[in-house]
Amino acid sequence: MADTPKPLIVIPVYNHSAQLRAVVASALPHGEVLVVDDGSDDAPDAAVAGLPVTMLRHDENSGKGAAILTAAGYAHEHGYTHVITMDADGQHLAEDLPAFMAAIAEHPRAIIAGVRNFAQASRRNIPRSATWGRAFSNFWFRVQTGEQAQDTQNGFRAYPVPVLLKLPMTERRYAFEIEVLVRAVWANVAIRWLPIGVYYPAPEERVSHLHRVRDNVRLSLLNTRLTMRAALPVPHRRLGPVGDMEDAEKAFALGSPMESLREQLRKGLSPRTIGLSAALGVLLGTWPLFGVHTVTTLFAASFLRLSKIIAVAAGQLCMPPLVPAMCVEVGYYVRNGAWLTDVSWQTLGVEFLDRAFEWIIGSLILSPVLAALVGLLFYGLAKTVTLFVDAE
């Protein structure tokens, strides 16, 4: 990426010609403008006739995501470093463009995502779907990435061009703008949230191409896919400093912990994160979550923005028979005031439900202790390995 950012203002349009000229005219004082006509049939080229803009056209409506990717390809070919996307319906205010330019200069490798200020907008004109949809989408973003979002549904954003060209996107329509943020976080691309204004016209003046059923079904399917992918103990490929996809981090091997820790530290994990991840894996691994240990650990690690690889690996330390036996012994002692010494078919088979109950009791007592010990151990090992990594 060039040292000096060179952004291109991009306005995808699909049958918004009535508002398009005003939007383009307001953006032109702030930089070069590209309009991508996504198969409109209301003559957007006539709407911007005489204005110094570049226009590209899709022969058929392919979706907003497809229009943004077309713009990214054009930007790459013509030496632009970033694209700033604005909606063609007038919702986004050109007066916020200087703030985007400044944010790009300060964080050139990050996605700058606008956060709509509903408090300053006309309350009577804000559609209920906008406030509810933002909260709903922000929740799933937290589940899928472990990061707190502020506005995942707003399209006023600045993207580094390599991010758009290199991320493995699957969506091309309405859900694109949500998927790109999730995959960016997975690829280690920072997201910076920028407060912006917003304008909502009166309901009778509003033009929307959102299909309530079809687009919401697509969004639900996307969230299902992203959540399932987030839960897999398979590392994500990261986006390198010049936009190249780096190899995914290696799995954590308990048989060679020092080398595995070295690899995790090289990938940017801190000793604190490593310690907390190991503690989480042992905490959940100690509980009798029959058949769902791994799934529970994966979702918890994803939600808490910890390392799924380390959490799952550390949880393997709790596999039978040692840790479950310790839990049963502690639970038995709590119930009976003595240790279980008679290991027989009677005590383990006929009295299985009693042992299961004691396992639960014992796990609640032992899990925080074991988690703290293992977490501190991994933290200490990581701090030790850090000295060697820093010396390399």
* Residue 284 and residue 202 share a domain: no
* Residue 215 and residue 266 share a domain: no
> Could you read off the pLDDT tens digit of each residue along the chain, which spans 392 residues?
556 899 999 999 999 888 899 999 999 999 999 999 999 998 899 999 999 999 999 999 999 999 999 999 999 999 999 999 999 988 899 999 999 999 999 999 999 999 988 776 555 566 666 677 788 888 889 888 888 899 998 999 999 999 999 999 999 888 899 999 999 998 989 999 999 988 876 554 555 555 556 767 888 888 888 888 887 767 777 776 544 444 444 556 666 667 777 777 777 788 999 999 999 999 999 998 877 888 888 888 888 888 888 888 898 888 888 899 999 999 999 999 999 888 777 877 778 788 889 999 999 999 999 999 999 999 999 888 887 655 55
| CA gap 286, 326 in Å, rounded | 10
Q: Count structural domains, the chain.
A: 2
Residue 244 lies in a domain: no
Residue 386 lies in a domain: yes
pLDDT at 303: 82
* Residue 68 and residue 208 share a domain: yes
Residue 302 lies in a domain: yes
* Residue 160 and residue 31 share a domain: yes
* Residue 310 and residue 210 share a domain: no
pLDDT at 247: 45
Q: CA of 111: how far to CAs of 90, 104, 192, in Å?
A: 22, 8, 6
Residue 237 lies in a domain: no
The domain that holds 181 is classified in CATH as 3.90.550.10
* Residue 283 and residue 223 share a domain: no
Residue 245 lies in a domain: no
* Residue 164 and residue 46 share a domain: yes
Residue 269 lies in a domain: yes
Nearest Cα to Cα of residue 257 among 379, 361, 78: 379
* Residue 277 and residue 225 share a domain: no
Q: What is the span of the domain harbouring residue 353?
A: 257-391
Using left for φ > 0, alpha for ψ between -120 and 50, and beta otherwise, residue 178 falls in: alpha
* Residue 324 and residue 210 share a domain: no
Nearest Cα to Cα of residue 367 among 266, 284, 264, 277: 284
Query: Do 360 and 331 form a contact (C-beta atoms < 8 A)?
Result: yes
* Residue 22 and residue 141 share a domain: yes
Residue 264 lies in a domain: yes
Please give the single-letter amino acid code of residue 46.
A
C-alpha triplet 146, 152, 155: angle, nearest 5°: 150
Residues in the chain: 392
* Residue 120 and residue 78 share a domain: yes
The backbone torsions φ and ψ at residue 246, rounded to the nearest 5 degrees and listed phi first, read -85, 160
pLDDT at 224: 87
* Residue 170 and residue 135 share a domain: yes
Residue 201 lies in a domain: yes
